[in-house]
Chain A
Amino acid sequence: MPKIELQQDELFRYSGRNFGADELEEALTIAKAEIDDPVDKDGLIKIELNDTNRPDLWSTAGLGRALRLYHATGNAAPTSAAAPAAAVNYDFFSRPESPVEAGNRRIVVDSELAERRPYIAAFAISGPPIAEVLLDDLIQTQEKLCWNYGRKRKAIAMGVYREDKIQYPVRYRAVDPDCTTFVPLGLDNELSLRQIIEQHPKGREFGGIVAALDKFPFLTDNSGAVLSFPPVINSADVGAVQAGDTNLFIEMTGTDLKPLLLACSIVACDLADAGYTVHPVQVEYPYDTPFGRTIVSPLYFQKPVSVELAYAERLLGVALNEDEAVQRLGKMGVRAEAASGLITAYPPEYRNDFLHPVDVVEDLMIGYGMNAFPSEPPRDFTVGRLTEAEIFSREVKTLLVGMGYQEMIFNYLGSRRDFIDNMYSHEQRTAAADACVRIANPMSENFEFVRPSIIPQLLGAESVSAHAVYPHYIFEVGKVAVRDADDNYGSRTVTALGAVVADADAGFNLVSSQAAALFFYLGLEYEPSVVDDPRFLAGRVASLLVKGERVGILGELHPQVLENWGVTVPCAVIELDLDHLQKAIGSD
Chain B
Amino acid sequence: MQTDEDIKSLHPLEVTVLRRYNTGDVLSASVLQGDLGLNVGQSNQALSWLAARESLQEHNRRIITRYELTELGRDYAEHGTPEERVQDAAREHGPLPLPRIAELTGLPNKDVGSAFGKLSKQGVLGMDGEKQVSYVAADGASAAQADIDMVRTLLRRAAAAPQGLLEENELGDDERRLIGEISKKRGSSGAAFRVVESEIVEYTLTEHGTALRAAVEAAGLSGKEVGALTPAMLRDGSWKGTNFRSYSIQVPPSRLLIGRRNPYCSYLDQVKDKLVSLGFEEFDGPLVETEFWNSDALFMPQFHSARDIHDVYYVADPPHAQEIQEPFLSRVAATHENGWDTGSSGWDYTFDRDFTRRLILRSQGTVMSAKTLHQAKVPGKYFGILRCFRYDQVDATHLSDFYQTEGIVLGEDVNLRTLMGMLEMFAVELAGATDVKCVPGYFPFTEPSVEIHIKHPELGWFELGGAGIFRPEVTEPMGVSVPVLAWGLGIDRMALMHLGLNDLRELFSPNIENVRLRTGKQAG
Where the two chains meet, the residues of A that have a C-beta atom closer than 8 Å to any C-beta of B are 29-30, 32, 50-54, 148, 151, 155, 256, 258, 303, 314-318, 355-359, 361-362, 365-366, 370, 373-387, 389-390, 394, 397, 400-413, 437-444, 446-447, 450, 457, 460-462, 464-465, 467-469, 471-474, 479, 481, 488-493
Contact = CB atoms under 8 A, between A and B. Distances in A.
B309 A409 contact: no
Which 3 residue pairs spanning A and B have beta carbons closest together? Answer: A317-B415, A380-B379, A317-B417
Contacts of A461: 510-512
Contacts of B430: none
B344 interface: yes
Interface residues of B, number: 105
A407 B262 contact: yes
B399 interface: yes
Contact of A481 (B277, B283, B288): B288
B262 A441 contact: no
B399 to A, nearest CB: 7
A365 B448 contact: yes
Contacts of A366: 440, 448
Given A378-B411, A437-B287, 14 more contacts: A32-B442, A315-B448, A361-B447, A377-B425, A394-B269, A397-B261, A406-B515, A413-B389, A413-B400, A443-B393, A468-B512, A468-B513, A489-B286, A490-B321
Contact of A410 (B259, B321, B381, B508): B508
A465 B513 contact: yes
A450 B258 CA distance: 31
B507 to A, nearest CB: 7
B516 interface: yes
A580 to B, nearest CB: 16
B339 A355 contact: yes
B281 to A, nearest CB: 5
Interface in B289-321: 289-290, 303-306, 309-310, 313-319, 321
A408 B413 CA distance: 43
Interface stretch (B17-25, B80-88, B466-474): B466-474
Contact of B262 (A386, A402, A406): A406
Contact of A385 (B282, B286, B359, B409): B282
A462 B409 CA distance: 43
Given A32-B440, A490-B318, A315 B288 contact: no
B69 to A, nearest CB: 42
B264 A316 contact: no
B392 A443 contact: yes
Please indicate which of the listed interface residues B315, B391, B472 has the most CB atoms of chain A within 10 Å of its own CB.
Answer: B315
Given A377-B421, A440-B319, A390 B282 contact: yes
Interface in B503-524: 507-508, 510-513, 515-516
A385 B346 contact: no
B349 interface: yes
A256 B349 contact: yes
B401 A315 contact: no
Contact of B441 (A50, A155, A394, A397): A50
Nearest to B304: A52
B45 interface: no
Contact of A493 (B288, B391, B447, B485): B288
Contacts, number: 280
Nearest to B386: A479
Interface string B270-290: 001001111111111111111
A370 B282 CA distance: 30
Contacts of B420: 370, 373, 375
A178 to B, nearest CB: 30
Contacts of A397: 261, 265
Contacts of B422: 377-378
Given A32-B442, A315-B416, A359 B421 contact: no
Interface centre among B321, B400, B421, B508 (most CB of A within 10 A): B400
B467 to A, nearest CB: 12
Nearest to A394: B269
A370 B314 contact: no
Given A362-B447, A384-B381, A406-B262, A355 B345 contact: yes
B361 interface: yes
23 contacts: A29-B440, A52-B305, A314-B415, A316-B416, A355-B346, A375-B421, A377-B422, A378-B414, A384-B280, A384-B281, A385-B276, A390-B284, A405-B259, A406-B260, A411-B401, A437-B361, A447-B400, A450-B288, A464-B510, A469-B513, A481-B288, A490-B321, A491-B315
Contact of B399 (A376, A385, A411): A411
A437 B421 contact: no
| Most chain A Cβ neighbours within 10 Å, of B260, B281, B447, B473 | B447
B500 interface: no
B450 interface: yes
Contacts of B317: 438, 440, 490
Contacts of B278: 384
B447 A359 contact: yes
A440 B314 contact: yes
Contacts of B460: none
B394 interface: yes
Contact of A317 (B275, B399, B416): B416
Chain A CB count within 10 A is highest, among B261, B393, B441, B469, for: B261
B363 interface: no
A358 B279 contact: no
A560 B347 CA distance: 57
A534 B348 CA distance: 56
A318 B515 contact: no
B418 interface: yes
A382 B401 contact: no
A450 B448 CA distance: 36
Interface string B226-266: 00000000000000000000000000000101111110110
A515 to B, nearest CB: 16
A410 B510 contact: yes
Q: Which of B257, B264, B287, B323 has the most CB of A within 10 A?
A: B287
